[in-house]
Amino acid sequence: MLNARSERRRLEDKFFIAAFEESREAIVALDAGKKIYTVSRGAEEILGLTRQELVGRLWGDFMAGGEAQRLFGEGAPGVLRNYATALRINKQQNMPVQLTLEALIEPGQNQPLGYLIWVMPPAGPDLNLEHKILRETFLRLQRLGTLGQIAASFAHQMRSPLQIIQSSAEFALEFCSPSPKLKENLDSIAKSTERLSKMTAALLNMAKSGACRLERGSLVNVIEAALLPIEPAVKKQNIKIIKDFGPAPEILLDPYILQGALYNVLANAVEAMPSGGTLTIGLKSENQQLILNIQDTGPGIDAAILNQVGQPFLSTKETGTGLGVYIAKQIFEQHNARAAWSSEQSRGTSVIVAFPGLQP
């Protein structure tokens, strides 16, 4: 048990490094005293100092007089978005930026445990060329660099355990004379781990190349493959699945990478209906696009959160990383697809993904 906990902690540390400290987004983590606890690689670049030079310094040292008080002062909101200000960066005065601040507050507590700050050069015609280039670079690296780092870390960590699970299941099938029911379960384990192994290999390829490897394929087949891992939860929670598939011509896709993205969306829908409900999966060809609609009958997403869906580290689940939907959106974008979330309280959530059709 101790070894398992140690391994889990080691894995969590690696995920944290890949998802936060190696991120090209400029993110600063502060402790309760507003001192810098750690920063991402992107923050090092924009602040012009290394992590070692930044840790322990007061965030207020980088802000003009009175700005820190307005940012953190009494009555300040727990989440503040697109706060226009200026930072003293690497001895340069008044570099214009936009800050998004989120206070980390435990339920039932009033005082924050710490803060997360996202730093972004502001949008607008007043930016000089250097700031425009910096902003464009951050946006590009946010979409490709962070995803690649997370994918590579995840794939490397998962590859060996998956191989062990798969080989153990195959050994038991061949040499242990299992009962019919156990044989069925072992066969399911072997096939599932084989699919996951292919997905991790695809993630590694994407991390190395920076892009999905698109080929002609069937979106229906990818949907069916993404549904397989959630079947036990669907049965346990008494969820009804309705498949409304119209004619679905082939599109360009990376089957294993896209399967992972669709699995995440489908799994979120199932998790939203712990006491049962209906999961409707629609697919239709329209205006030279293939439209996928995934709809649940769960409680819906709060309007205040809905417009933030897909932002990194945003999660409504206590154990969530806030990266699943973010990565899924990045994968959809690499398929040149547009994804949109809509939701209605007490009626459920709908995710529509529009994939471009092949030109005749």
| CATH number of residue 186's parent domain | 1.10.287
Query: Any idea which residue has 């890949």 for tokens?
Result: 18
DSSP 317: S
Domain count, the chain: 3
> Based on the domain organization, do 355 and 221 belong to the same domain?
yes
> Based on the domain organization, do 285 and 313 belong to the same domain?
yes
pLDDT tens sequence for the chain (360 residues): 445 556 666 666 666 666 677 777 788 999 989 999 989 888 887 777 888 989 999 998 888 767 777 777 654 556 676 777 888 765 555 677 788 888 888 777 778 888 889 887 665 544 444 444 444 444 444 444 555 555 566 666 677 777 788 888 888 888 888 888 888 888 888 888 877 776 666 566 555 545 567 889 999 999 999 998 889 889 999 999 999 999 899 999 988 889 888 998 998 899 889 999 999 999 999 988 999 999 999 988 777 676 767 565 555 554 444 567 777 888 888 888 999 988 888 889 999 999 998 866
Q: Which of 210, 228, 244 is the last residue of a domain?
A: 210
> Based on the domain organization, do 264 and 163 belong to the same domain?
no
Q: Which of 210, 240, 260 is the last residue of a domain?
A: 210
CA angle 349/296/243 to nearest 5° reads 130
Cβ neighbours, 10 Å, residue 273? 21
- The helix/strand/coil state of 302 is coil
Cβ neighbours, 10 Å, residue 118? 22
Query: Any idea which residue has 């727990």 for tokens?
Result: 78
> Based on the domain organization, do 360 and 232 belong to the same domain?
yes
Q: Measured between alpha carbons, how far is 314 from 312 in angstroms, rounded to an integer?
A: 6
Note whether 12 and 323 are within 8 A (CB): no
- Give the structural domain span for 162: 123-210
Beta bridge partner(s), residue 296: none
Cβ neighbours, 10 Å, residue 63? 20
pLDDT of residue 135: 47
pLDDT of residue 269: 92
Pairing of strands 277-286, 239-245: parallel
Token pair for residue 244?
A: 């409304």
Q: Measured between alpha carbons, how far is 35 from 18 in angstroms, rounded to an integer?
A: 23
pLDDT of residue 129: 42
Token pair for residue 290?
A: 């293939």
* CA distances in angstroms from 11 to 14, 164, 340, listed in the order given: 5, 17, 32
pLDDT of residue 4: 55
pLDDT of residue 319: 45
Q: Measured between alpha carbons, how far is 141 from 169 in angstroms, rounded to an integer?
A: 40
CATH of the domain at 103: 3.30.450.20
Residue 233 lies in a domain: yes
Query: Quick one: 125 exposed, middle or buried, by C-beta within 10 A (0-12, 13-18, 19+)?
Result: exposed
Residue 252 lies in a domain: yes
pLDDT of residue 158: 73
Q: Which one, of 195, 197, 186, lies nearest residue 162 by Cα?
A: 197
CATH of the domain at 220: 3.30.565.10
Query: Quick one: 136 exposed, middle or buried, by C-beta within 10 A (0-12, 13-18, 19+)?
Result: exposed
Q: Measured between alpha carbons, how far is 77 from 301 in angstroms, rounded to an integer?
A: 21
List, in sequence order, every beta strand (DSSP E) within the chain. 26-31, 36-39, 79-89, 92-104, 114-120, 215-217, 239-245, 251-253, 277-286, 289-295, 338-344, 348-356
